[in-house]
C-alpha cells in the first residue's frame, strides 16, 4: 500500500525562491530576526515542528539563529563545493539555511542560521500540550534538568502548593507561605510520556527527605507533584509505589491537584544557562545534569 501523500502548503514566488530553489533572504530583513516570543517554529511548506523558541538566540548575524533543533526534524547536507553544510526540513526537504560550528556563541557551539521565510511561528497559547508542576528542591536545578528533555516544550520556575496569594522569592524562602519552589513543565505527550517525566523527576532528587534537598532546608524545598488532570493524578498514584523499591526510606512526595501556579521573578528564569560559574551551578547543578544525561539521554 502506498504511503499517505505529504500535504504541502502553497508557496509564493519569493517563498519558492528560498525554500525550493535554495536562495537566501537579505540579512536583517526577515520576520523572525530579533523576534523572541515563546512558541515553536514550523516548516513553512509542510508544518513540521523544527525549533523551540528556547533554543533561539541573538547572534547579530542578520538571520534567526538556533543552537538546537527538534531531534530528527532537520537534516544536514554538505554543499556541492564542500564549503558549508545546508540544513533542510527532514520531512519535505525544504531549504532552511546553513549550520555552523565552532563559533562559541552559545555553550552548544552550534548555530543554525535559518531564513525567516522558511519558517512559521506558532505562539505558545495556540499549541496543544499537557502541563505538570513539579517540585524537587531548588527550582534553579529542576528547571535546568527538564529543559534538557526532548518533548518538553517550555519550563517555567515558580511557586505553588500553598495558600498565600502572589508570593515572591523572599516570602517563599521565609518558609511560611506554604508554597514550594516548583517548575511548570509543558510537554508534548506524543514525544515524552508522563511516566517518563516522573521517572526523571524521582531520579533527580531524593523524595524521602521531608522538607529538604541536600543543604537546602525548609518546606519550600519539599518533594511535590501538582497535577493538572485527574488522569495525571491517577497515574502518579500508581507510579509512586513502583518507585519505592528504589529507595530504602519511605517516599514522602506530596501529591495533589494544582490550585494555582505563580511564576517566579525574571532573575530565576533560565538561571543555570545564565550563571554557569555560580558556585551552586558548578557544584550542584552541573554534576546532576551529567548524571541525568548519562542515564536518560544516551
- Using one digit for the tens of pLDDT, what is the confidence trace for 216-258? 999 999 999 999 999 999 999 999 999 999 999 999 999 999 9
Helix axes 139-146, 286-296, angle to 10 degrees: 30
Domain topology for 13-124: 2.170.150
Residue tagged 548555530 (cell numbers): 111
Class of domain 128-296: alpha beta
Task: Tell me the three cell numbers of residue 150.
Answer: 526532548
Q: How confident is the model at residue 4 (pLDDT cuts 50, 70, 90)?
A: low
CA distance 39 to 54: 8
CB 114 within 8 Å of CB 66: yes
132 pLDDT higher than 90: yes
pLDDT exceeding 70 applies to what percent of the chain? 98
User: Does residue 1 have a pLDDT over 70?
Assistant: no
- Domain residues of the chain, as ranges? 13-124, 128-296
Backbone angles phi and psi of 292, in degrees to 5: -65, -40
pLDDT digits (tens, 9 = 90+) for 36-78: 999 999 999 999 999 999 999 999 999 999 999 998 999 999 9
* pLDDT tens, residue by residue, 146-193: 999 999 999 999 999 999 999 999 999 999 999 999 999 999 999 999
- Residue 138 annotated as catalytic: yes
Separation CA 86–CA 97 (nearest Å): 6
Q: Which three cell numbers stand for residue 296?
A: 536518560
In this prediction, residue 222 carries a pLDDT of 97
C-alpha–C-alpha distance, residues 256 and 253, integer Å:
10
The active-site residue, picked from 43, 138, 141, 227, is 138
- Give dist(CA 40, CA 55) in Å, integer: 10
Amino acid at each position: 500500500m502506498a504511503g499517505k501523500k505529504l500535504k504541502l502548503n502553497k508557496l509564493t514566488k519569493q517563498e519558492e525562491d528560498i525554500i525550493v530553489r535554495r536562495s537566501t533572504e537579505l540579512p536583517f530583513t526577515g520576520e523572525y530576526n530579533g523576534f523572541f516570543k515563546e512558541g515553536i517554529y514550523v516548516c513553512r511548506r509542510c508544518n513540521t515542528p523544527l525549533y523551540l523558541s528556547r533554543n533561539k538566540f541573538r547572534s547579530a548575524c542578520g538571520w534567526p539563529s538556533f543552537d538546537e533543533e527538534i531531534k530528527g526534524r532537520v537534516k544536514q547536507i554538505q554543499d556541492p563545493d564542500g564549503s558549508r553544510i545546508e540544513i533542510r526540513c527532514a520531512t519535505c526537504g525544504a531549504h532552511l539555511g546553513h549550520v555552523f560550528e565552532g563559533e562559541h556563541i552559545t555553550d552548544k557551539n552550534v548555530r543554525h542560521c535559518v531564513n525567516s521565510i522558511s519558517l512559521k511561528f506558532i505562539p505558545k497559547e495556540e499549541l496543544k500540550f499537557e502541563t505538570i508542576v513539579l517540585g524537587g528542591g531548588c527550582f534553579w536545578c529542576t528547571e535546568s534538568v527538564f529543559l534538557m528533555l526532548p518533548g518538553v516544550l517550555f519550563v517555567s520556575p515558580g511557586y505553588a502548593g500553598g495558600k498565600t496569594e502572589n508570593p515572591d522569592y523572599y516570602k517563599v524562602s521565609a518558609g511560611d507561605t506554604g508554597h514550594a519552589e516548583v517548575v511548570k513543565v509543558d510537554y508534548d505527550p506524543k514525544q515524552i510520556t508522563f511516566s517518563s517525566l516522573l521517572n526523571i523527576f524521582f531520579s533527580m532528587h531524593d523524595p524521602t527527605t521531608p522538607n529538604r534537598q541536600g543543604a537546602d532546608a525548609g518546606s519550600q524545598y519539599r518533594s511535590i507533584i501538582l497535577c493538572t488532570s485527574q488522569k495525571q493524578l491517577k497515574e502518579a498514584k500508581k507510579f509512586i509505589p513502583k518507585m519505592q523499591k528504589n529507595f530504602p526510606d519511605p517516599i514522602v512526595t506530596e501529591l495533589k491537584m494544582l490550585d494555582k501556579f505563580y511564576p517566579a521573578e525574571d532573575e530565576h528564569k533560565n538561571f543555570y544557562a545564565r550563571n554557569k560559574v555560580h558556585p551552586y551551578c558548578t557544584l550542584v547543578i552541573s554534576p546532576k545534569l551529567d548524571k541525568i544525561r548519562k542515564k536518560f539521554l544516551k
